[in-house]
Amino acid sequence: MSKEHVRAALQEARQALDNFLADEAGLEAVDRAAALMAEAIEKNCRIYACGNGGSLCDAMHFAEEMTGRYRRDRRPYGATAIADASHIACVANDFGYEAVFSRYVEAHGRSDDVLLAISTSGTSPNVVAAAKSAKAKGMRVVGMTGRAGSPLAELSDVAIVTPAGRYADRVQELHIKCIHIMIELVERRLDPQNYAD
């Protein structure tokens, strides 16, 4: 091992970020996704987030930043990651793992709520099923994926697509950056006093 491996990894990550910076449609998608989320909160609606593995961790991170705080104190925003272990174990056992997120959306989702659905491939069956359930309930779907034209991207009202390389880790690195930016944009709209100075 050597620091050259470290340098190469950081250069690859920087290239992925530079590519996304040059993607005007991708930047616009992040802005539109944040606007959908802010509108939902203004209507006293909720945002639900789901994903598998690292994407579930991103969904949980998104939700805790919304209900807690991001940079400065402000009111909490209604957001929930679909991560309840007892729900997931129950539904996986009774209906199969494909239903763990969609069943939760069917139980809790309401018209004008938003689902943040995260799948680096855009093909995760349980995330795609959640997006379908959300659409059936009149919710809006923000999809985060690494592949244009994927089933998740096609189901999304706003698709944030970050094709960052051969592996999911680079896609996830851009996803967390986009998540932080969306939270900031929501705050700038709903609590602009946090950005007054």
Structure tokens at 96: 């199969």
- Give the alpha-carbon dihedral of 29, 31, 33, 36, to 10 degrees: -140
d(CA 139, CA 142): 10
Q: What is the pLDDT of residue 47?
A: 98
SS3 at position 47? strand
DSSP string, 150-166: -HHHHH-SEEEE----S
d(CA 51, CA 37): 18
Q: What is the pLDDT of residue 167?
A: 81
Q: What is the pLDDT of residue 42?
A: 97
Q: Give residue 111's identity as a one-letter amino acid code.
A: S
In CATH, the architecture of 3-195 is 3-Layer(aba) Sandwich (3.40)
0.75 exceeded by pTM: yes
3-state secondary structure the chain: CCHHHHHHHHHHHHHHHHHHHCCHHHHHHHHHHHHHHHHHHHCCCCEEEECCCHHHHHHHHHHHHHHCCCCCCCCCCCEEECCCHHHHHHHHHHHCHHHCCHHHHHHHCCCCCEEEEECCCCCCHHHHHHHHHHHHCCCEEEEEECCCCCHHHHHCCEEEECCCCCCHHHHHHHHHHHHHHHHHHHHHHHCHHHHCC
pLDDT one digit per residue (tens) for the chain, 197 residues? 689 999 999 999 999 999 999 999 999 999 999 999 999 999 999 999 999 999 999 999 999 999 999 999 999 999 999 999 999 999 999 999 999 999 999 999 999 999 999 999 999 999 999 999 999 999 999 999 999 999 999 999 999 999 877 788 999 999 999 999 999 999 999 999 999 87
Residue with the two structure tokens 């034209």: 149
- Listed by start position, the domains of the chain span 3-195
Q: What is the pLDDT of residue 123?
A: 96
d(CA 133, CA 47): 14
- E strand segments, 13-163: 47-50, 79-81, 114-118, 140-145, 158-161
